[in-house]
Structure 1
Amino acid sequence: MNTTRTIAPHRAWLMAARPKTLPAAVGPVLVGTALAHAHDAFAAGPALAAAAGALLLQIGSNFANDYFDFFKGADPGDRLGPVRVTASGLITPAAMRVGMMVVFGLAALVGLYLIAVGGWPILAIGVLSILAAIAYTGGPFPFGYHGLGDLFVFLFFGLVAVCGTYYVQALTLRPVVVAAAVPVGLLVTAILVVNNLRDIETDRRAGKRTLAVMLGRRGTRAEYFLLLAGAYLVVLGIWLAGQGSAWVLLPWLTLPLTMPLGRNVLTAQDGPTLNATLAGTARLSLLFSLLFALGWLL
């Protein structure tokens, strides 16, 4: 473990930001913006601000997880995931706390502009998003420790992110936007499922009752496949319901990418393979969202 102390400070902060998870923040903004454009409501300023806010919230959430998991003992030395910088001593708890506050502060500053554009609904969304990011592993009832992490990721990184991005541009909301947010949220949740599948044993020992710990390996693998299948079927349903042209089916081109990911989820037990599967699921989520956004533009 001492070898990690040779890592440069800027590299340690980059590790804490967990860049492989950041597509989860970008994809929903792309879809929400594409829908706004399709409805003649595109606004560059709010769209860029929504992207910045989403990235800051994702990074702040990652910092908070690193910080609070350290104090709860959820990051033991034998964990299979990437190095956690607080537990490994790369960044002190005090510095991580400051970093977390700075990132959430920047997100709040971005939110002030979006509130000026979208009014009180954006204020409510912003406050709830920051509180949820902290409460995922912190506070008196951490969602991630009581099997609710998957639900809150789906809600905030799927429904809220897509609908919020659309709202700050169109200043209204349509049912098709909510429907389009569902497959995006399902795939973002699948990223978390791989993370929790990898960490089942260490989370169980630490008393971190994720949904994966509750379901066990078989149930968690089933959840992963249901999330992926649901994403593609919802897109198909949007088209069959006449809510979009055949172009909205473009995300189906990513279906072959699910095959190796699903195989790894079924068979892999080692950390490196599951870490690669997590990164692959994040790439799938981003590419799916890119094609979905392109479909709405076309």
Structure 2
Amino acid sequence: MATGSQWIEAARPKTLPASLAPVIMGIGGAIGLGQASAGKSALALLVALFLQVGVNFSNDYSDGIRGTDAKGKRVGPQRLTGAGLAAPRTVLAAALSCYALAGICGIALCVWAGTYALIGLGVLAALAAWFYTGGKHPYGYLPGVAEVMVFAFFGLLAVQGTIWVQAHTLPWRTWVAASGIGLLSCALLLVNNLRDIPGDRQSGKNTLAVKLGDKGSRYLFACYLYAALVLGVLSFSVRWEALVFGLAMAVGVSFPMMKVLQGARGKDLIKTLKQVGQITLGYGLAVAVQWALQGL
């Protein structure tokens, strides 16, 4: 039976700051537009939190029953199902409970804001979370599809949805910054899959990293970081602040980028994953503060 600490590890708390970053950015946008609501912001954060934990548990369940996380194949953090620490149905129940809580918070937010169309997008987000590794034909096993979904839901929808339910307007700068943080989410996914290339090849998980190979994945990772940096700078409305942000980002991304380009593998990539998560959070906070103080 899994211990409490093992359940916490399976929830992968290190992924949570990066999943909350786009919502924080959206809250900053709403403040900059003079339409922020503490209650709506809190609900948006809860939706992101429960969805991310649900994704982590459902990936644990789905990869575990497929044998993707079988002993000797996995390099990353220990999984409950694959390691036999918890019954698959228990892990599944945890995932579905998180999705249900995300749904309750999301519906309450949409009803409060009068944006009922977003309920449909929320349902699509939950389905995308489940079918990443769930179902008979998970798209997480197909090259490129997962990246598109991550960009759309953890970038565009998370930022723009948070702004829309509060301000009902989406200035062009918000699209630029949302695209940037979406690319950082793609970089997180790529590092994770780069680390798991050997095991994924063995178990038939044909991710984009498997398709591109080791060298191509490392170059794509650098492109994600550079593109996100440029988009972040363009989203600032004050030039000197954009310059400071750009320089800080350039220094920040240089560490994980050089590690990856120099051939970091296995557990070293786990550290890189943490660094990119921190950069994503910093990126979201910096843009949010700029928008909140300078307006949109």
TM-score tier (shorter): over 0.9
* Offset of residue 125 of structure 1: 1.7
Separation of aligned partners in 2, 1:262 and 1:142: 29
Is the contact between residue 248 and residue 292 of structure 1 (CA under 8 Å) also seen in structure 2?
Answer: no
Which of 128, 141, 148 is the aligned partner of 1:132? 128
User: For each residue in 1:239-279, what CA deviation from the matched residue of structure 2 results, as whole angstroms up to 9, or x when unmatched?
Assistant: 5xxxx223355532132122221122123444221111111
Is the contact between residue 11 and residue 53 of structure 2 (CA under 8 Å) also seen in structure 1?
Answer: yes
Is the contact between residue 249 and residue 295 of structure 1 (CA under 8 Å) also seen in structure 2?
Answer: no
Residue 179 of structure 2 corresponds to residue 182 of structure 1: yes
Could you tell me which residue of structure 2 aligns to residue 26 of structure 1?
Answer: 20
RMSD over equivalenced CA pairs, Å:
1.5
Question: 1:141 is paired with a residue of what secondary structure?
Answer: coil
Paired residue type of 1:59: V
Is the contact between residue 18 and residue 281 of structure 2 (CA under 8 Å) also seen in structure 1?
Answer: yes
Question: 1:84 is paired with a residue of what secondary structure?
Answer: coil
Question: 2:77 is paired with a residue of what secondary structure?
Answer: coil
Which of 251, 273, 277 is the aligned partner of 1:282? 277
Paired residue type of 1:277: T
Paired residue type of 1:296: W
* Offset of residue 140 of structure 1: 3.1
Residue 72 of structure 2 corresponds to residue 111 of structure 1: no
Kindly tell me: are residues 149 and 264 of structure 1, through their superposed partners in 2, closer, same or farther at Cα, counting changes over 3 Å? same
Question: 1:32 is paired with a residue of what secondary structure?
Answer: helix
Question: 1:22 is paired with a residue of what secondary structure?
Answer: helix
Is the contact between residue 249 and residue 292 of structure 1 (CA under 8 Å) also seen in structure 2?
Answer: no
Residue 228 of structure 2 corresponds to residue 235 of structure 1: no
Could you tell me which residue of structure 2 aligns to residue 15 of structure 1?
Answer: 9
Which of 38, 50, 72 is the aligned partner of 2:32? 38
Residue 212 of structure 2 corresponds to residue 215 of structure 1: yes
Question: 2:169 is paired with a residue of what secondary structure?
Answer: coil
Paired residue type of 2:177: A
Could you tell me which residue of structure 1 aligns to residue 118 of structure 2?
Answer: 122
Kindly tell me: are residues 270 and 222 of structure 1, through their superposed partners in 2, closer, same or farther at Cα, counting changes over 3 Å? closer
Separation of aligned partners in 2, 1:238 and 1:295: 9
Could you tell me which residue of structure 2 aligns to residue 98 of structure 1?
Answer: 93
Could you tell me which residue of structure 2 aligns to residue 82 of structure 1?
Answer: 77
Question: 1:186 is paired with a residue of what secondary structure?
Answer: helix
Is the contact between residue 248 and residue 296 of structure 1 (CA under 8 Å) also seen in structure 2?
Answer: no
User: For each residue in 1:81-121, what CA deviation from the matched residue of structure 2 results, as whole angstroms up to 9, or x when unmatched?
Assistant: 11111111122101001111111111111012112123222
Paired residue type of 2:228: A
Q: TM-score, normalised by structure 1?
A: 0.92
* Offset of residue 151 of structure 1: 1.4
Question: 2:157 is paired with a residue of what secondary structure?
Answer: helix
Residue 62 of structure 2 corresponds to residue 68 of structure 1: yes
Is the contact between residue 268 and residue 274 of structure 1 (CA under 8 Å) also seen in structure 2?
Answer: no
Kindly tell me: are residues 225 and 46 of structure 1, through their superposed partners in 2, closer, same or farther at Cα, counting changes over 3 Å? same
5+ residue gaps, structure 2, are none
Kindly tell me: are residues 270 and 179 of structure 1, through their superposed partners in 2, closer, same or farther at Cα, counting changes over 3 Å? closer
Is the contact between residue 53 and residue 111 of structure 1 (CA under 8 Å) also seen in structure 2?
Answer: yes
Aligned residues between the structures: 288
Separation of aligned partners in 1, 2:263 and 2:69: 21
Separation of aligned partners in 2, 1:255 and 1:263: 12
Is the contact between residue 33 and residue 42 of structure 1 (CA under 8 Å) also seen in structure 2?
Answer: yes
Could you tell me which residue of structure 1 aligns to residue 149 of structure 2?
Answer: 152
Separation of aligned partners in 2, 1:90 and 1:251: 44
What is the aligned-residue identity percentage?
Answer: 39
Residue 195 of structure 2 corresponds to residue 198 of structure 1: yes
The 5 Å alignment of 1:251-262 reads 251-252=245-246, 253-262=248-257
5+ residue gaps, structure 1, are none
User: For each residue in 1:157-216, what CA deviation from the matched residue of structure 2 results, as whole angstroms up to 9, or x when unmatched?
Assistant: 001100011111112333322222011111111111100000001001111010000000
Kindly tell me: are residues 250 and 108 of structure 1, through their superposed partners in 2, closer, same or farther at Cα, counting changes over 3 Å? farther
Separation of aligned partners in 2, 1:210 and 1:249: 36
Kindly tell me: are residues 249 and 124 of structure 1, through their superposed partners in 2, closer, same or farther at Cα, counting changes over 3 Å? farther
Is the contact between residue 75 and residue 267 of structure 2 (CA under 8 Å) also seen in structure 1?
Answer: yes
Separation of aligned partners in 2, 1:27 and 1:201: 30
Kindly tell me: are residues 158 and 100 of structure 1, through their superposed partners in 2, closer, same or farther at Cα, counting changes over 3 Å? same
